[in-house]
């Protein structure tokens, strides 16, 4: 069952309310695109060196490309409502969202922390080709809401 996003006729992405699906999709981002670092508060020198090599930039420049400024990172009010609802009434879902500066990755369909990154990082106005479909991917606030799930 998918909930409507703030009455706008858009369904919340399934991974915002299904922890198993969210973890599966996050695992896919880790495996396929080096999602990380695991703990962004640490220096993570090896991780940033690897990302710098991947992008052919310095580690300092690589650190500038984070999920929080990725074109596929969705922190719209509607998406944050979906994430809060999915976290449930236990505790304070808004404190959790703020603590992790959470948003939604529309490439891999999972709740994502703004301080992390992955190889799929894209500039806000950049288009990339979808590997699975051979089509261009342009981030949108409802891409994940259209029922796209990543299956192995």
Long-range contacts of 83-88 (CB under 8 A, 24+ apart): 83/16, 83/111, 85/3, 85/12, 85/16, 85/17, 86/12, 86/16, 86/17, 86/18, 86/111
Residue 32: which pLDDT band, with cuts at 50, 70 and 90? very high
Mean pLDDT of 135-143: 36
Quick check: pTM over 0.85?
Answer: no
User: pLDDT category, 10, cuts 50, 70, 90?
Assistant: low
Looking at 96-100, 105-109, 132-136, which range is the least confident one? 132-136
């Amino acid at each position: 069952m998918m909930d409507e996003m703030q009455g706008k006729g858009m369904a919340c992405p399934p991974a915002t309310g299904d922890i198993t699906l969210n973890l599966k999709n996050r695992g896919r981002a880790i495996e396929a695109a080096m999602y990380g670092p695991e703990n962004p508060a640490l220096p993570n020198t090896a991780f940033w060196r690897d990302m710098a090599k991947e992008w052919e930039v310095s580690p300092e420049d690589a650190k500038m490309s984070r999920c929080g400024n990725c074109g596929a990172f969705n922190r719209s009010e509607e998406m944050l409502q979906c994430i809060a609802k999915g976290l449930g009434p236990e505790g304070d879902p808004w404190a959790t969202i703020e603590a992790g500066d959470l948003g939604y990755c529309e490439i891999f369909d999972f709740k994502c922390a703004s301080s992390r990154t992955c190889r799929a990082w894209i500039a806000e106005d950049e288009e990339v080709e979808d590997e699975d479909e051979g089509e261009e991917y342009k981030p949108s606030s409802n891409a994940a809401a259209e029922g796209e799930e990543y299956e192995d």
